[in-house]
Amino acid sequence: MKKEISLSKKTSFVFCSEELRKIKYLISILFLRGAHERPHGNTSLIIHLTKTYNLLRQSNADYDVLTGALFHSAYGTANYPDGLFLISERPLLQALIGLRAEKLVFSFCHKSTSWWKTAKKSNKGWTIHTRDSAVIDLDNSSLYSLALISIANIFEQLPRCTDADVKKAQDLNLKEIESFARKITTDTSILDYLLGGPITNEHYSRVETDR
């Protein structure tokens, strides 16, 4: 049995019963942690998280990527330090959303500002630098997943960004991460669907109109 659920304004999806159960469960965790009460720019954190999720849901990303997107700032980030979970609660979040999804969340929260510029191949796949100069080991699939979440996170915020300098910087970051992501995968279908092809300035104006 399928049922329609709306996660944010202007966006709705058809979920099977199992998907609906999972997404309700995950969103309930975010509410329990107060994501609906925390501001995020001119909206709330819960709206930002669900819209980031929605962008990847439309692109048919896998469950771990979707869950990682929904919880991407759980431990706090450089630009949004007020996390929903303490780093000491990693085992709890791992139990709630799964090991791979939590690793994506941990990586997103701790990655350096320009992580894609310093990512290096290693015998384990890739290493990326954290803000405190440590490194995180990721396999190729996880690194691509991190790029997808990073793109969706920026892409969700661009239409409501009012600071011209910030928007210009985010615009550049988005293009650079897209270019990096295309170099590390042979299957760009999710990326292509998410962005509608390689990013162009015209694409941004189209997205703002569509929303």
C-alpha distances (whole Å) from 14 to each of 51, 105, 155 are 16, 26, 23
Average pLDDT over residues 84-108: 97
Q: What class is the 17-210 domain?
A: mainly alpha
Domains of the chain, by residue range, sit at 17-210
Average pLDDT over residues 173-200: 87
Flag whether pLDDT at 199 surpasses 60: no
Asked if residue 66 lies in contact with residue 43, where contact means CB atoms within 8 angstroms, the answer is no
pLDDT in tens, 18-35: 777 888 899 999 999 999
Average pLDDT over residues 26-49: 95
Here the tokens at position 55 are: 């962008």
pTM of the model: 0.85
CA separation for the pair 74, 93 (Å, rounded): 9
Parallel, antiparallel or unpaired: strands 135-138 and 125-129: antiparallel
Average pLDDT over residues 133-156: 96
- Position 210 scores a pLDDT of 38
- Position 16 scores a pLDDT of 60
